[in-house]
Chains A and B, each alone.
Chain A
Amino acid sequence: MRALFEAIQSRFTGSSLDTALGGRLAMGQGRQEWAMPFGVYFLVGNVADQLMEHCSIQFSLFDDAPSAGRICDAYAVLTALFDNCDLPGVGNPGNLGMERSFSQLIRDEGVWHYIVEYSLLIERK
């Protein structure tokens, strides 16, 4: 799993999503002092059989702007970066790429929350 999180972080670093979020993307939990917008990703779950490991990863984008424009832009940049992307060094011998399986925009207590979920099949020897 460490290789997976490192691959996500290295893909994010220096990307247009990095610019859109001002570098504020963390694994697990966002920092309390962070300004909006920011992003969080975490492992929803993973199940393994003898050949593959099926992982589900959720990205959450948060924004407190009155309109949904900024968060929708961040969503577009996120999906352009991670949809069907290759994550080098993840799996042995490799993986079958990130596939977007679910996304939903909600507004809770005045904060926009974009939930984006990806499925990933990691090969194992």
Chain B
Amino acid sequence: MSAVFSGDFDLSQVKQGLDSHLLATANQIAVEARRRCPVKTGQLRDSIGVVKTRRGYQVVAASPHAAPVEFGHAQVTGGALKVSGRGLKRGETSGHVVGHVPPHPFMRPAVMAVASRQTIAEYALPSSSEIGGSLGALLGGAIGEFLLGPVGGTIGAKGGRHLGKKYGVRAGQAAANAAGGIVADHVPQFLDPAGTKAEQGRSGAISVEPK
């Protein structure tokens, strides 16, 4: 998608626009992750939130068991698995691996879902604006020409295109909304699901960062 800038524009406004869009995207991912996360006590679900970072925003699941739930883990009983001479103190016994606990991913599917909706919105808005504009120009031109002759036709076509684009965008927003999409009043950013990594912190918390 291309955008044409003309005249003076304030860079801080662009940054502000991007910032608000990143925050909106992060909030959408957080909502989706909360919806998908398995609930036993609600601690994991309630720990999902959005934090501001130097580069933008991160969606964080701060609960220590977030990563084992997201990625799965080996099941160990009787304490941690230790080997004599490597962390096993005198009189202490090592745990035993008894199996595997399958993962219940909630963060990564949330990112994928939000990214796919944004793609729908990205396609829907410009194309509906274009189609609306063309139809408006055709209709406005015909009416203007019928009422005022050739000059009226040109004016009518210009006015019709403007109105048609406006209503076309609204129709596109409605279409994207119907598809479950995120619609902002600026061009939606495509979020690459493969480029957005789920990262595990040392505490077992995980985070994703919209780009």
B residues neighboring A (CB under 8 Å): 67-68, 71-74, 76, 79-83, 86, 94-95, 97-103, 105, 108-109, 112-113, 115-116, 119-120, 193-195, 197-200
Contacts and interface: CB of A to CB of B under 8 A. Distances in A.
Given A101-B194, A109-B76, A64 B81 contact: yes
Contact of B119 (A31, A49, A64): A49
Nearest to A35: B97
Q: Is the contact region of chain A dominated by helix, strand, or loop, or is it mixed?
A: strand
B68 A108 contact: yes
Contacts of B199: 104
Main secondary structure of the interface of B (DSSP, over half): mixed
Given A109-B79, A110-B82, 14 more contacts: A31-B100, A34-B99, A38-B100, A40-B102, A44-B105, A47-B116, A49-B119, A58-B71, A58-B105, A102-B198, A104-B200, A108-B68, A109-B76, A113-B71
A44 B99 contact: no
Contacts of B74: 62, 64, 108-109, 111, 113
B100 A62 contact: yes
A123 interface: no
A69 interface: no
The 4 A-B residue pairs with the shortest CB-CB distance in the complex, in nearest-first order: A110-B81, A45-B109, A30-B100, A47-B116
Contacts of B100: 29-32, 34, 38, 40, 62
B193 to A, nearest CB: 6
B188 to A, nearest CB: 15
